[in-house]
Structure 1
Amino acid sequence: MIPLRPLGLGEILDGAVTTMRTHWRSVLSVTAVVAVIVQLATVIFQRYSMNRLMTDPGSITGPGEMLDVMGGSLAVSAVSIFIQVIGGVLATALLTMIFSRAVLGQPSTVAGAWRDARPQFLRLAGLTLLLTLASAALLLVLMLPGILASSTGLALLGGVAGLALLAWLWVRFSLASAALMLEKATIPKALARSAKLVSGAWWRIFGISMLTALIVGIVSMIIAVPFSAMAVIFGGGFDDIVAGNTPDSWPYLIIMALGGVIAMAVTMPMQSGVTVLLYIDQRIRREALDLELARAAGVQDYGTPGAAAPHPGAGG
């Protein structure tokens, strides 16, 4: 699916899309199942918990009730994010294996991907939890002086500094999941491997990751907007919004969930694919991984003087 040499931006994006298209059965099976589970859990939670956690804004009479509203909103967001993170861990584990085999031109099945991913699944979950909690703790620590001093400006300054630092750390450890899954590494080793591979290429990886996020965001929005409109018009959401309430009827939530399933099924493979290909690209650039890939793919005499360069599609 990729040429066995350092990859350009277009080759990384094209490799991810080509793999999705060629191995669509395995990819779609993984993403569709994960998306349905995530959206189903989210819908059930929102339907039965929204009324208890959310308060009508018109009934707020003091700071105490405002804090209750903010706490309820944070609780809803936190649970929704947690559900998505768990689903993302499962999808990442399976898709990483599918994409890694696709690089060698080898077919994949969901059962085979799970068999390869299962030994590392708990470690991947631990890595994801560690990065999530560390990010939240770092942001809180930098904002805490402003919060304790009741200074909005100082808190905002700490928040901006925290976001900048998180962006740097996010890129630095962006390849940790691929290293953990494909090298069967421990969490500390995966973090160290990612930092080593990203060193000297931070801006390049940042740019490719941001472009991927932009593409994924646009695709998600294109899919979500029609479903949001249908949910408002046909799902009873319009009446709730006019009344100042948060829509939580079954028709509204189901229509929104259908849009979410389609968006997740389409965008998750793109993100995972780019991460895997960035990892492989950095190893090709630093460790001549292309030689190992060529041997694994059965490319004869690759890398020997006078040997013909493999076709970009050779060996995958």
Structure 2
Amino acid sequence: MASVQLRPLSIGEILDAALKVCMRHWKVLTLSVVPAILPLMIVSVLFSASFDIETDLAQFERTGDPADIPSSLWVSAGVSSIVTFLTTAIVMAVCFKAIADAWLGAEPSVGRSWRFALPRSFSLIALFLVSGVCYVLGVLACLIPTIWLWSMWAVASAALLFERVGPFKALGRSFQLIKQRFWAVLLLQIIVALLTFFVSAVVTGIPSGLVTLFAEDNEIATAFSDVIFGTIGNAIVLPIGAAVLTILYFDQRVRKEGFDVQLLAQGIGTEYDPNAPIPAPLRPVGGSAPQPQPGYWQPPPQPQQYGGGWSAPAHDAPPLRWGPAGEAPRDTRPPEESPWMSPGSPSGGGWAPPTGASPDRRWGSEDAPPPRDEDEDERPKQDRPDWQPPEERGPGGL
């Protein structure tokens, strides 16, 4: 598992990581994208060649009335748009899976990515339709709601694919992850849009311009250029966009849900399995702490005679705060009733004097030390009656 990568990343680090993943696994990503994009480009060129667009639009350019546009042109444009929309949705799902495997430490596979994407393509198409309608309504409402939704729904596709939820839950899930990160995600989206536009313009625009300059009337050369370089451009742009959104999705889960710790705890001692579903976010059940999974260590039950042991606080309990300590309880009993003030019988719980001791024992003359002669230390040792020279000392001392 790529534990070094699973940490909060800045905008520059997300872009750098996305480009590195795409360059490191360009073969798998290219083989994942080209089989779907190449037929799409061929169909698009054939549709364009079957109509004389300049002649069909000549009447519309003179009158400006949409009714002057031939119905066949409307049909071809609609069919081409639908095919492009469906193909792009499937290819994006394939890229999401390949990028996720590479980011989490597994080697991406073309077959595994397609097997993952095909069953979820219809849900992803429904998500694109719902979000597209909301974007159009936002454009009609002065464009600001569209910009806001574009940022807040940035990781809805990743949430739908990896968490196996429906379109509406995926939109709500994306809103939950992006909340409080609106401006950073919006800036990232703008940078990615400008980057992909520049790459697409360079890869497809320059060859098309050269063909138009040197072979303007050669329709075969124009069609060949559109198919080849259009496919190459999409094979570069689509993985970059998918890589940025995939890494952004995992980055938000690391920031807000501890996804790196969760993935590490569930995969200790084993390698990341790309065929296994990505762990869903941990949520408390019924307001209590998450229950441990079977097979993991569980704390032993506490003995009931000690009150049942410590219990974890509920998730909805107010947080603990530091405050001043309360006052100690005061003893309101009179002094004569306190067992510390007067002796009592052992049966009453009070202190009792030792056996044979006098209860009224006081210091008296018999216990007092003998008076000390203040001049005793000042007299010469020879004049003191208790002093003897060393040669007269006996074995018992002085």
TM-score band by shorter chain is 0.7 to 0.9
| Equivalences for residues 1-316 of structure 1 within 5 A | 3-51=5-53, 54-56=56-58, 60-64=61-65, 67-69=67-69, 78-139=78-139, 142=140, 161=142, 163-237=143-217, 249-295=219-265, 298=268
Q: Which runs of 5+ in 2 are unaligned?
A: 271-398
CA distance in 2, matches of 1:296, 1:53: 64
Q: Which segment is superposed worse, 281-290 or 109-118?
A: 109-118
SS in 1 for 2:34: helix
Match of 2:393 in 1: none
CA distance in 2, matches of 1:207, 1:259: 29
% identity of equivalent residues: 25
Asked if 2 retains the 8 angstrom alpha-carbon contact of 1:12 and 1:274, the reply is yes
Q: Which segment is superposed worse, 75-84 or 37-46?
A: 75-84
TM-score (norm 2): 0.61
CA RMSD of aligned residues (A): 2.8
Q: CA deviation at 1:197?
A: 0.7
Asked if 1 retains the 8 angstrom alpha-carbon contact of 2:18 and 2:240, the reply is yes
For each residue in 1:254-277, what CA deviation from the matched residue of structure 2 results, as whole angstroms up to 9, or x when unmatched?
212222111111111100000001
CA distance in 1, matches of 2:191, 2:61: 41
Asked if 2 retains the 8 angstrom alpha-carbon contact of 1:53 and 1:69, the reply is no
Q: Which segment is superposed worse, 45-54 or 23-32?
A: 45-54
Sort the Cα spacing of 1:106 and 1:250 in 2 relative to 1 into closer, same or farther, 3 A. Answer: same
Structure with higher Rg: it is 2
> In proportion to residue count, which structure has more helix?
1
Q: Which amino acid aligns with 1:102?
A: A
Asked if 2 retains the 8 angstrom alpha-carbon contact of 1:104 and 1:297, the reply is no
Asked if 1 retains the 8 angstrom alpha-carbon contact of 2:177 and 2:252, the reply is yes
SS in 2 for 1:293: helix
Asked if 2 retains the 8 angstrom alpha-carbon contact of 1:198 and 1:282, the reply is yes
CA distance in 1, matches of 2:26, 2:107: 11
Q: CA deviation at 1:198?
A: 1.1
Q: Which amino acid aligns with 2:44?
A: T
CA distance in 1, matches of 2:152, 2:74: 28
CA distance in 2, matches of 1:190, 1:8: 24
For each residue in 1:108-159, what CA deviation from the matched residue of structure 2 results, as whole angstroms up to 9, or x when unmatched?
21111122223322111111122223333554xx3xxxxxxxxxxxxxxx5x
Q: Which runs of 5+ in 1 are unaligned?
A: 143-157, 239-248, 301-316
Q: Which amino acid aligns with 2:130?
A: L
CA distance in 2, matches of 1:278, 1:111: 24
Sort the Cα spacing of 1:277 and 1:47 in 2 relative to 1 into closer, same or farther, 3 A. Answer: same
Sort the Cα spacing of 1:231 and 1:168 in 2 relative to 1 into closer, same or farther, 3 A. Answer: same
